[in-house]
């Protein structure tokens, strides 16, 4: 019998190769008026100049995208949705109240928009990006490129230059929007680059609740990508509740850069729910820019199979008396992996600030892994900042206890996991969103 | 009338034999007390009967309702009618007492009928309220996270509340170490007495180190355990005798025997 020679391959960090590049060209940039055109040109220049991030960059150290088939992706043509599966009905149901004040559905190559006339009469703008480009260039100029810098990375540059669709939400001074606004980004199809740009400006003293959900069918053996920018401005004394959910299919590579700026006395309650995608790298930043600004970030994630979700959060205290409170909780199954990397930054002079961040993970399978990396950078001396990070396993004793009361193993595990997420549920003022998260848990644990 | 029959039970933990051929029968409606010095395997017996995965049964059987309990998962044992009141109940953060009890009740209903939709909420609330009143418990207890941050006494109350709502036919009360906490003992004893006087028909196996618990729960039978076996059985007077004389005489009587035989 012949024995094959034993070959030992020792692998260190993969060499940095930027061989592949997206096929997108300057001709793919959609035309726009003055400020929009110059914004997209600068994004295009950044896109050309920046290379794809690799694991030698600190922010990407734990998220390797060398398998991203960049040269495969193309933008959807106008009307492409006609030949693709329509948006799932359940995604259109109101999540946070009985009724929407408005709903936008973004699909490849198109969008539908509904807005309550009463809100439109009060000057509320809630429309898709292409319509806003035509009808509200001046409002758009106040929003685009105002919080997310396209230079931040390859994907922010991509989204800035090539946004295919998006949402523009403007709430005028003093207007209180009672009924929640809802948008769905529906991304069916394969080999498509879904590129979205969400823009929100809640003007002085105004208030709004907005739910945005990105989703797609689950397609085996295929790939698509999403690159998105979310820019939010909560002006002086304004308040916003923003619920952001993603349940992308397992074939979707998902990248986003999001930043919210909260001005003096403003308040942002920001809720994240993530269960989908093959891989996600999400940068979410909160800038507390004016005195007394407050922001709360609550994150729910649950991964399984081979999923990889990476959430990078930043709480920037840029003014005195600002308060931030972040809690991200995640559960993991299969061979999935999660990364949470958080930073509280307190600028010089931002005295009397109160910053909190915590990330808790529950690892349900031997093969799953959660990385949790908190961070503080404090340049003021009279502040209160605390943080905590934990990665735990499902323990034997609680399960035995529950089983000893007649609860079968699978249900006992589900109960412990629901209990684990309870602190997140407690922070969510919307029953529909809590129920959605419970459905996510049930789905992942079945 | 059901009874739990333990026959020649041998149990090891990590290869070390703890129970060495234990025989005992607990009938529904009777109260048995197991006493004995520390380290004789009393808690091992309790955990083994409930099916804790750390304990390995090497020999023997436990028969209840015609089934060998040792072949069943802990949840199946529970649904068959066996209950263990834990010495140290485990905290389940984020899960309220009410949610937990409803899940446990529904698990039973679904085991009986896979189509069952679960206990209707109003019926559950009414039942829980009644049990909590019977056990003199504050109603807001139901909304707290199970055993999370509970005092010793609250944990005991939660165990007894479970005993009252799940209505087992055999209840094992592991009170091995709690002899010094008189309040906790009284909660357990008063709870068991209240349930039995209300007609909850159970066989009770009380495991304790101290005779004191038996001042509050009157056993029909008392067994003394030594080195993994039951060596003496008698009525309530045996407990009084142990209180007076301690366990020394038992040790002398039984631990010298092998040498005498040699």
Sketch the domain layout of chain A as residue ranges: 29-290
Task: Record the tokens describing residue A368, joined without a space.
Answer: 């799953």
Q: What residues of chain B lie within 8 A of the CB of A415, using their CB? A: 92, 95, 99-100, 103
- Does residue B108 belong to any structural domain of this protein? yes
* Closest residue of chain A to B50, computed from CA coordinates: A404
The domain of B205 spans 3-89+168-261
Does one domain contain both B126 and B187? no
Looking at residue B260, its pLDDT comes to: 45
- In this structure, are residues B158 and B113 in contact, taking their beta carbons and an 8 Å threshold? no
Residue A15, pLDDT above cutoff 70: no
Give the minimum alpha-carbon distance from A441 to chain B in angstroms, rounded to a whole number.
14
Q: Considering the domain boundaries, does residue B36 fall inside one?
A: yes
Within 8 A of B75 by CB-CB distance, chain A residues are 403-409, 412
Pairing between β-strand B67-68 and β-strand B56-64 as defined by DSSP bridges: antiparallel
Determine contact, residues B92/B100, Cβ cutoff 8 Å: yes
Q: Is A445 on the interface with B (CB under 8 A)?
A: no
Indicate if B28 and B134 belong to the same structural domain.
Answer: no
* Residue B156 is assigned to a structural domain of this protein: no
Domain containing B47 — which CATH number? 3.40.50.300
Distant-in-sequence, close-in-space partners of A420: CB < 8 Å, separation ≥ 6: A329, A331, A360, A362, B93, B94
Same-domain pairing of B175 and B247: yes
Q: What are phi and psi of A255, to 5 degrees?
A: -130, 130
3-state SS of chain B: helix, strand, coil percent to 5?
45, 25, 30
Yes or no, beta carbons of A422 and B95 under 8 Å apart? yes
Q: Do B107 and A419 touch (CB under 8 A)?
A: no
Same domain flag for B13 and B121:
no
B71, B19: one domain:
yes
Whether B247 is in a domain gets the answer yes
Among partner residues B52, B79, B94, which is closest to A406 by beta-carbon distance? B79
How high is the pLDDT of residue A1? Answer: 45
Phi, psi of A254 (to 5 degrees): -120, 125
Whether residue B21 is found in the same domain as residue B123: no
Chain A residues whose beta carbon lies within 8 Å of the beta carbon of residue B166: 405-406
Give the B window 100-159 contacts with A, CB below 8 Å. 100, 103-104, 107-108, 111, 145
pLDDT (tens digit, 9 = 90+) per residue, A36-48? Answer: 999 999 999 999 9
- Which ipTM score applies to this complex? 0.95
Q: What is the pLDDT of residue B245?
A: 85
- For residues B102 and B79, membership in a common domain is answered with no
**Given this model, what pLDDT does residue A102 score?**
96
Q: Is the domain of B99 the same as that of B71?
A: no
Contact B93/A419, CB-based, under 8 Å? Answer: yes
Q: Does B91 touch chain A (CB under 8 A)?
A: yes
Average pLDDT, chain A: 94
Least Cα distance to A204 among A240, A174, A169 occurs for A174
Residues B55 and B113 occupy one common structural domain: no
Chain B residues closer than 8 Å to A405 by CB: 75, 78, 100, 104, 107, 162, 166
Our CA-based measurement puts residue A417 at a distance from the nearest CA of chain B, in whole angstroms, of 9
Q: Could you tell me if A397 lies within 8 Å of chain B, comparing CB atoms?
A: yes
Q: How far is B27 from A291, CA to CA, in rounded Å?
A: 72
- Provide the whole-model pTM: 0.91
Give all strands (DSSP E) within chain B, no chain letters.
3-13, 16-27, 31-35, 56-64, 67-68, 82-85, 170-175, 203-208, 221-226, 229-234
The alpha carbon of residue A406 is apart from the nearest alpha carbon of chain B, in Å, by 4
Question: Is A403 an 8 Å CB contact of chain B?
Answer: yes
A437 touches chain B (CB under 8 A): no
Chain A CB contacts of B162 under 8 Å are 405
- Nearest Cα to Cα of residue B99 among A275, A248, A189, A415: A415
B46 and B120 in a single domain? The answer is no
Q: What angle do CA B200, B116, B130 make, to 5 degrees?
A: 35
Q: Are B176 and B35 in contact (CB under 8 A)?
A: no
Q: How far apart are CA B28 and CA B203, in angstroms?
A: 4
pLDDT of A20 reads: 78
Please compute, for residue B48, the number of CA atoms within 13 A of its CA located in the half-sphere on the CB side. Answer: 27
The residues near A4 (Cβ < 8 Å, ≥ 6 apart) are: none
As a whole number of angstroms, the distance between CA B153 and CA B175 comes to 13
Q: CA nearest B52: which of A405, A407, A396? A: A396
- Residues from chain B that touch A422, judged by Cβ atoms under 8 A, are 93-95, 145
C-alpha span between A121 and B163 (Å, rounded): 61
The minimal CB distance from A406 to the residues B52, B78, B99 is found for B78
Q: What is the pLDDT along chain B (262 residues), one digit of tens a residue?
A: 789 999 999 999 999 999 999 999 999 999 999 998 888 999 999 999 999 999 999 999 999 999 999 999 999 999 999 999 999 999 999 999 999 999 999 999 999 999 999 999 999 999 999 999 988 899 999 999 999 999 988 999 999 999 999 999 999 999 877 656 778 888 888 999 999 988 889 999 999 887 888 888 899 999 999 999 999 999 989 988 888 888 888 888 887 555 444 3
DSSP A56-106: TSGGGTT---TT--GGG-BPPPTTGGGGSPPPPGGGGS-SSSSS-SEEEEE
Q: Which of B53, B91, B104 sits opposite A407 (nearest CB)?
A: B104
Cα separation of A145 and A230, whole Å?
Answer: 10
Q: Could you give the number of structural domains in chain B?
A: 2
Nearest to B107 among A397, A400, A406 (CB): A406
Edge to edge, the sheet with strand B3-13 lists: B16-27, B3-13, B56-64, B67-68
Say if residue B224 is in the same domain as residue B244: yes
Kindly state whether residues B50 and B174 are assigned to the same domain: yes
* Rounded CA separation A221/A84 (Å): 17
- Which residues numbered 13-72 in B keep a CB inside 8 Å of some CB on A? 50-53
Whether residue B162 is contained in a domain is answered as no
Longest CA–CA separation in chain B, Å: 68
| Res A27: pLDDT | 93
């Amino acid at each position: 019998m012949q024995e094959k020679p034993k070959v030992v391959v020792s692998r260190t960090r993969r060499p940095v190769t930027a061989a592949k590049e997206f096929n997108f060209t300057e001709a793919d940039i959609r035309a726009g008026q003055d400020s929009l055109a110059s914004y997209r040109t600068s994004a295009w220049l950044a896109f050309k100049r920046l290379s794809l991030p690799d694991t030698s960059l600190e922010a990407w150290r734990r998220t390797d995208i060398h398998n991203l088939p960049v040269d495969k992706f193309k933008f959807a043509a106008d009307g492409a949705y006609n030949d693709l599966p329509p948006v799932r009905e359940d995604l259109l149901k109101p999540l946070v109240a009985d009724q929407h004040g408005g709903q936008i559905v973004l699909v490849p190559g198109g969008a539908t928009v509904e807005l309550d006339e009463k809100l439109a009469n009060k000057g509320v703008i809630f429309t898709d990006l292409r319509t806003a480009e035509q009808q509200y260039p001046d409002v758009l100029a106040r929003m685009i490129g105002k919080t997310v810098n396209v230079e931040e990375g390859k994907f922010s540059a991509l989204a800035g230059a090539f946004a295919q669709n998006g949402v523009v939400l403007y709430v005028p001074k003093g207007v209180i929007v009672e009924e929640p606004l809802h948008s769905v980004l529906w991304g069916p199809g394969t080999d498509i680059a879904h590129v979205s740009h969400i823009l929100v400006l809640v003007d002085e003293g105004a208030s709004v609740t907005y739910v945005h959900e990105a989703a797609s069918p689950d397609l085996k053996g295929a790939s698509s990508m999403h690159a998105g920018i979310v820019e939010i401005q909560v002006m002086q004394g304004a308040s916003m509740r923003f619920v952001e959910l993603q349940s992308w299919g397992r074939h979707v590579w998902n990248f986003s850069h999001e930043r919210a700026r909260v001005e003096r006395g403003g308040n942002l309650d920001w809720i994240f729910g993530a269960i989908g995608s093959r891989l996600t790298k999400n940068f979410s930043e909160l800038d507390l820019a004016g005195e007394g600004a407050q922001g709360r970030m609550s994150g729910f994630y649950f991964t399984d199979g081979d999923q990889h979700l990476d959430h990078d959060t930043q709480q920037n205290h840029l003014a005195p008396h600002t308060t931030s409170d972040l809690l991200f909780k995640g559960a993991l199954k299969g061979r999935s992996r999660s990364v949470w990397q958080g930073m509280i930054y307190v600028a010089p002079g931002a005295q009397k600030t109160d910053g909190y961040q915590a990330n808790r993970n529950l690892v349900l399978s031997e093969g799953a892994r959660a990385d949790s990396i908190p961070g503080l950078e404090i340049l003021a001396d009279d502040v209160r900042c605390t943080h905590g990070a934990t990665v735990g396993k499902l323990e034997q004793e609680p399960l035995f206890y529950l089983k000893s009361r007649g609860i079968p193993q699978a249900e006992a595990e589900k109960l412990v996991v629901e209990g684990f997420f309870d602190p997140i549920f407690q922070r969510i003022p919307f029953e529909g969103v809590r129920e959605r998260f419970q459905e996510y848990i049930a789905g992942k644990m079945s | 009338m059901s009874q739990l029959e333990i026959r020649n039970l041998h149990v090891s933990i990590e290869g070390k034999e703890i129970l060495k051929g234990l025989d005992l029968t607990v009938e529904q409606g009777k109260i048995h007390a197991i006493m004995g010095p520390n380290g004789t395997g009393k808690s091992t017996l309790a955990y083994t009967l409930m099916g804790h995965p750390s304990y390995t049964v090497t020999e023997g059987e436990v028969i209840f309702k015609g089934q060998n309990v040792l072949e069943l998962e802990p949840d199946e044992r529970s649904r068959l009618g066996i209950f263990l009141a834990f010495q140290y109940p485990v905290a389940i953060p984020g899960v309220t007492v009410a949610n937990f009890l409803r899940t446990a009740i529904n698990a039973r209903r679904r085991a009986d009928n896979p189509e069952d939709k679960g206990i209707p909420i109003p019926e559950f609330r009414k039942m829980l309220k009644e049990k909590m009143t019977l056990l003199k418990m504050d109603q807001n207890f139901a909304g707290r996270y199970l055993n999370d941050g509970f005092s010793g006494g609250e944990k005991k109350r939660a165990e007894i509340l479970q005993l009252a709502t799940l209505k087992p036919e055999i209840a094992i009360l592991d009170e091995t170490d709690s002899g010094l906490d008189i309040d906790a003992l009284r909660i357990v004893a008063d709870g068991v007495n209240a349930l039995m006087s209300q007609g909850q028909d159970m066989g009770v196996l009380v495991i304790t180190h101290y005779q004191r618990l038996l001042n509050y729960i009157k056993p029909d039978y008392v067994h003394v355990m030594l080195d993994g076996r039951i060596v003496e059985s008698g009525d309530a007077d045996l407990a009084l005798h142990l209180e007076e004389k301690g366990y020394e005489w038992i040790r002398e009587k039984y631990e010298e025997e092998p040498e005498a035989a040699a």
